[in-house]
Structure 1
Amino acid sequence: MDIVERFLNYTRINTTAVPNAAHLPSSSGQTELSILLAGELRDLGLVVETRDHSIVVGTLPSNIKDGRKAPTIAWVAHMDTSSEYNTDTRAQVVDYTGGDITLNKDLNIVMRLEEFPELKRYQGDQIIVTDGTSLLGADNKSAIAEIMHAMQVLHDNPEIEHGEIKVVFVPDEEIGLLGAKALDVASLNADFAYTLDCCAVGEIVYENWNAGEYHITFHGQPAHPMSAKGKLRNAILYAHQYIGMLPAGERPEYTEKREGYYWVKAVQGSVAEAKIVVDIRDFTEAGFETRRNFIDTLAASFNQLHGEGVVTVEYRPMYRNAAQGLQGENFYPVELALEAMKAIGVSPYAIPMRGGYDGAVLSEKGLPCPNLFCGAHNFHSIYEFLPVGSLNKASEMVIEILKRAAAKS
């Protein structure tokens, strides 16, 4: 099957993640996609396990015949798409000759070159886009297509030497890396892993945020306004005061590169009780712990000011910086990927990822996992697009990594 056809087939299944769902996966479309992928993997000669939570694990045995032992490499992709849009994807392939791209003539939705100048580098290529009413789902279905195409290449070319391969598809990355957290990593018996979940050709990630989430509750005391003096304690105003005491310049909209932040991302409540959700992000362990201490100290000071129990704090860890699991000999998968990119004519460049990815969880669990490019742009947007040349190049990279790992064994 052609790699473009594969990708388009996957986009036709709506796998939008559903925040705060009480089950994993959070949407039935992810289970539908997992069943399709399991069948395709079996057709390509892999031994397939369909695990709890619609996690799919395929194993392709090593074909090295002279006794050499190559590392077992796991390739991981997530099946869900982000919840910014939950509409069905209607992808289209455009022969790009330059200028703007009209996504939807009827709705006058246009991807304008002046807003997306990166389009220039793909003039003469085919580009897969949406009709302007949904996400494309290249995050992360491009990776699924790239990994599956690589398995197709190995199936059709048995002379290509490779070690044991694990193909792993997990749900609900977009709402907290939940599939990776549910995955039994030890049972994979892999030496290291890769995700393909960053953007343009050449990107490689081996450091990302330390991330945590605080749920902070403010307890007030209602009273009728005609007799409220000295009695009314307004939880809404407590929350407002607390937010105002956070460092004003350390918000997402004011930071870039390796600058950390506090992000107030949800507020709800009444006079009696108000709740806020505050995310903290920092690349360094020391910086992250400083932010944690600030939140906790501010809450303690608030209770001293307004009375014990006025504010309560619940901390929820999210993920850690993958760099902590990619030190020393665990840096080898990064070196291998850099070599493979150069061998296929790609100039690699490392980026500090201002976000999380499944590999951060896997690395923390003891499975070193850098993040490689999938070739797509504008994740989480109706202007998401995927050049066909980049789609093919990412799959070529997968094959090259496997070949080089086998040759080094």
Structure 2
Amino acid sequence: MEIVERFINYTTINTATNNKNGAQGILPSSSGQFELAKLIAKELAEIGLIEIDLQKNAILTATLPANINEDVPIVSFFAHLDTSEEQTADTKAKIVNYEGGDIILSKDQGITLKQSDFPELKNYQGQQIITTDGTSLLGADDKAAIAAILNTLQTLTENPEIKHGTVKVAFLPDEEQGLLGAKAFDVSSFGANFGYTLDCCGIGDFVYENWNAGSAVITFTGQSAHPMSAKGKLKNSLLMAHKFISMLPGGEAPEYTDGREGYYWVKQLNGNSAQTTLKLDIRDFSKSNYAQRKDFLCKLANNFALLWGKQSIGITISDSYENVANSLKGDARFPIDIALEAYRRNGIKPNLIPMRGGYDGAVLSEKGLPCPNIFTGAHNFHSIYEYLPVSSLKAASNVILEVIKITSEKTIQTNE
């Protein structure tokens, strides 16, 4: 099957994550993810993979056996099954022969992918681009990755003269809500030495840095009183929460930061004068700065307790995932070097970007499987303006193939 056909077939299955189900521990959170996993399992069997294992939680793994006798490190590739919940409508993908200018996604609804808003479109003039009708996500995040991985596996089985070691693949549910599939994934039984996710951006982008990430839940408990006799009695928890927010460092919020600048993100505020709950996200690339941010929130809560009383405030901080860079240092850096060489062999200039977000590889790396992040070629994730240049999708598959070849070559050369 041709790579574009694979990808478009995957987009017809609605795999939008369901945050409500995910919060209740239901994995996968949506039935479409299991439906897609079953289709992938069928295609893996047709290609010739073995040890195909589809679990009830939609985690799917498989193995391509080595065709050489050398003891080669086992490389693995990961993609996620779900799409973001920003848009839950069915995807109607189409191929556009792009000749420049704007792309009309829906004439009837007046939805246009404008070059003035997305100037990188100019780079793809004269190419085929896959878009939607403007009513949904495209789902290249992360179905482009699935298509690229299976296309590479098909290439290897159809061309046995390409020498390779054992290759492992895995497809995980619910990346879009807290990397739930990766957190449920058993790295030790998987048996790979290192891996790569494909869960990023335009052609050439390469990620081996992301946030150290966590969240804080702060509960303010006040004292209700009728306003006619409230003086000296009423303690308004809403105002306490607002005072807490006002004490956060100015300018250290998502809307004021970029690059490697960390932040506090006020995500949710619910309650009344008696009790209010504030939810914050905490992000920083530096492990030490991330620890300082958590410490700052705890000290601020302690100061509020001194002001309003110990029962007036409670704080719980939870870690979500680490910066993958923490796990790709020293002897564990080799997956980065292999990927960079694969880019160069394909004539692709690596664009190293610090990812202001999380991806499954952050959790997998923390569990002991070093796992940088390769591009899928798509743009505008989580948006109705998401699009995927066909040449970039094919380039992602070519990079995977080269990673596999380089892994085998280096081992063979060492043994010789």
TM-score normalised by L of structure 1: 0.98
User: Deviation of residue 285 (structure 1)?
Assistant: 1.1
1:287 corresponding residue in structure 2: 289
By how many angstroms is 1:120 displaced?
0.2
Structure 2 residue identity aligned to 1:256: D
Separation (CA, whole Å) in 1 of partners of 2:35 and 2:224: 49
- Counterpart of 2:125 in structure 1 is 123
Q: Map of 1:38-53 to 2, 5 A cutoff?
A: 38-47=41-50, 48-53=52-57
What is the distance in 2 between the residues matched to 1:90 and 1:219?
49
* Per-residue Cα deviation, 1:323-351 (whole angstroms, up to 9, x for no partner): 11101121101100111110011111211
Residue deviations 1:187-240 (CA, integer Å, cap 9, x gap): 111110000111111111111110000111111222222222222111111111
How many pairs were matched up?
407
Whole-angstrom CA distance in 1 between matches of 2:11 and 2:227: 55
Where 1:54 maps in the other structure, the secondary structure is coil
Which secondary structure state, in structure 2, belongs to the residue aligned with residue 160 of structure 1?
coil
Corresponding residue for 1:24?
27
Structure 1: distance between partners of 2:297 and 2:20: 24
Deviations 1:24-52 (A, max 9, x none): 11111111111111111111111201124
Offset of residue 80 of structure 1: 0.5
Deviation at 1:163, TM superposition (A): 0.8
Code of the aligned partner of 1:28 = S
TM-fit CA distance, 1:69 = 1.4
Q: CA deviation at 1:161?
A: 1.1
Match of 1:71 in 2: 73
Partner of 1:207: 209
Report the residue type matching 2:42 in the other structure: G
Alignment counterpart, residue 40 of structure 2, candidates 37, 46, 50: 37
**Identity fraction in percent:** 56
In structure 2, C-alpha distance between the alignment counterparts of 1:320 and 1:115, rounded to whole Å: 33
Amino acid of the structure 1 residue aligned with 2:2:
D
* Residue aligned with 1:9, SS: helix
SS at match of 2:310: coil
Alignment of 1:227-266 (within 5 A): 227-266=229-268
Alignment of 1:367-378 (within 5 A): 367-378=369-380
Distance 2:7 2:232 in 1: 64
Which whole-Å deviations, capped at 9, do the CAs of 1:256-276 have from their partners, x for residues lacking one? 101110000111111221111
Question: Partner letter of residue 65 of structure 2?
Answer: P
**Partner SS for 1:274:** strand
Match of 2:414 in 1: none
Q: What's the counterpart of residue 104 of structure 1? A: 106
The one of 209, 214, 226 equivalent to 2:228 is 226
Matches within 5 A, 1:297-312: 297-312=299-314
Which position in structure 1 is the counterpart of 2:6?
Answer: 6
The aligned residue for residue 387 of structure 2 is 385
Whichever residue aligns with residue 338 of structure 1, its letter is: L
Q: C-alpha offsets along residues 367-390 of structure 1, whole Å, 9 cap, x if unaligned?
A: 000001110001111111000000
Say whether 1:61 aligns with 2:88: no
* Secondary structure at 1:174 match in 2: coil
CA-based RMSD of the aligned residues comes to 0.9
Over residues 93-142 of structure 1, what are the superposed CA-to-partner deviations in whole Å (9 max), with x where a residue is unaligned?
Answer: 10000000000000000111111000000001000011111111111110
Tell me, in whole angstroms, the C-alpha distance in 2 between the residues paired with 1:324 and 1:105: 48
Which residue identity is paired with 1:211? A
2 CA distance for matches of 1:28 and 1:149? Answer: 25
Matches of 1:94 and 1:368 in 2, distance apart?
Answer: 37
Which residue of the other structure, out of 334, 342, 346, is the alignment partner of 1:344? 346
Letter in 2 for 1:166: K
- Matched position secondary structure for 1:20: helix
In 1, Cα distance between equivalents of 2:32 and 2:216 = 30
Alpha-carbon distance in structure 1 between the residues aligned to 2:266 and 2:318: 15
How far apart, CA to CA, are the structure 2 residues paired with 1:377 and 1:170? 21
Structure 2: gaps spanning 5 or more residues? 412-416
Instruction: Report the CA distance between 1:366 and its aligned residue.
Output: 0.6
Write the deviation string for residues 239-290 of structure 1: whole angstroms up to 9, x where unpaired.
1111111112100000010111000011111122111110111111111011
Give per-residue Cα distances to partners, 1:138-164, cap 9 Å, x unaligned.
111100100011111112112211111
Q: Distance in 2 between matches of 1:318 and 1:102?
A: 39
**CA–CA distance in 1 between the matches of 2:360 and 2:408?**
25
What is the letter of the counterpart of residue 53 of structure 1?
N
4+ residue segments displaced more than 3 Å: none
User: Take 1:137 and 1:265, find their aligned partners in 2: how far apart are those partners?
Assistant: 25
SS at match of 1:342: helix
Unpaired runs of 5+ in structure 1?
none
**Cα distance between partner residues in 2 of 1:309 and 1:24:** 36
C-alpha distance in structure 1 between counterparts of 2:330 and 2:248, whole Å? 37
Q: Does 1:85 align with 2:87?
A: yes
Quote how far apart the aligned CAs of 1:20 are: 3.5
1:62 maps to a residue whose letter is: A
User: Offset at 1:406?
Assistant: 1.1
Deviates more, 1:168-177 or 1:150-159: 150-159
**What secondary structure, in the 3-state scheme, does the structure 1 residue paired with 2:199 have?**
strand
